[in-house]
Amino acid sequence: MSDRITGRAAAPLLLALALCLLPVQPAPALDLQAPPMTPLAEDGIHDPDVESINSLQDPKVSMKDFPKDRRGEVNWVKTLSQGLIQPRKSVKGDPWEEEIMRTMDLDILMTNTAEMPHVLFPHFQHTEWLTCSNCHFEIFIPQRRANPISMTRILKGEFCGRCHDKVAFSLWTCERCHSVPHPKSPPKWW
């Protein structure tokens, strides 16, 4: 399912990117709805013919009270911080696996953002869900500015795009990454 969303999102996103690369242009605000939540029987994971499927809650019901972002997608960072879910640190309760799930509070400010506000990359919110080796060294060299990250490469599914728009929040909500305005960033149009 995620691939379908990514494919569908990539073309208009490239257009949005092209728009914001032009010298200051008043562009219409993006007003895109999140795709609807897929019922369990249609998600390609659960067997719709097994009777016990009726004993499981559909995402629409189970996630009804979870905080949403402006597109209507579940905001998992808030859902976790408000204590609405308590994810396990490991599937089997393996002590070694639980030990490597440690949070680290280290923000990285990324300033190569043209006229968009700068990007604040928070280690804390990531290490609540992931362990260091999920990113280091395969996706990112653990050193400031050591990675040639760009929006085009993210949209192609590299760097942040390995997860965002797939298993983490979408690339449409620019402001969740581009959260630090600077003197040259225009008023919010995205």
* H helix or E strand, kind and range, residue 154: helix 151-155
Write down the least CB distance from residue 48 to ligand HEC, Å.
27
Q: Is 143 in the site for ligand HEC (CB under 6 A)?
A: yes
Write down the least CB distance from residue 58 to ligand HEC, Å.
20
Q: Is 156 in the site for ligand HEC (CB under 6 A)?
A: no
Amino acid sitting at position 16? A
Q: Is 155 in the site for ligand HEC (CB under 6 A)?
A: no
* H helix or E strand, kind and range, residue 57: none
DSSP 101-137: ------EEEE---TTSPBEEEEHHHHHTT--HHHHTT
Q: Is 63 in the site for ligand HEC (CB under 6 A)?
A: no
Q: Which residues contact 134 (CB under 8 A, 6 or more apart)?
A: none
Q: Is 135 in the site for ligand HEC (CB under 6 A)?
A: yes
Both tokens of 118, joined, read: 């700068």
C-beta closer to ligand HEC: residue 17 or 40: 17
Q: Is 159 in the site for ligand HEC (CB under 6 A)?
A: yes
Write down the least CB distance from residue 161 to ligand HEC, Å.
7
Write down the least CB distance from residue 143 to ligand HEC, Å.
5
Q: Is 40 in the site for ligand HEC (CB under 6 A)?
A: no
User: Measured between alpha carbons, how far is residue 126 from residues 106, 114, 154 in Å?
Assistant: 10, 25, 17
Q: Is 117 in the site for ligand HEC (CB under 6 A)?
A: no
Q: Is 112 in the site for ligand HEC (CB under 6 A)?
A: yes
Q: Is 6 in the site for ligand HEC (CB under 6 A)?
A: no
Geometric angle at alpha carbon 170, from 124 and 40, rounded to 5°: 105
Is residue 61 within 8 Å of 72, Cβ to Cβ? Answer: no
Is residue 78 within 8 Å of 85, Cβ to Cβ? Answer: no
In the complex, the residues that contact ligand HEC under the rule CB under 6 A are 13, 16-17, 20-21, 76-77, 102, 104, 108, 110-114, 116, 119, 121-123, 125-127, 129-130, 132, 134-136, 139-140, 142-147, 149-152, 154, 159-160, 162-164, 168-169, 171-174, 176-178, 190
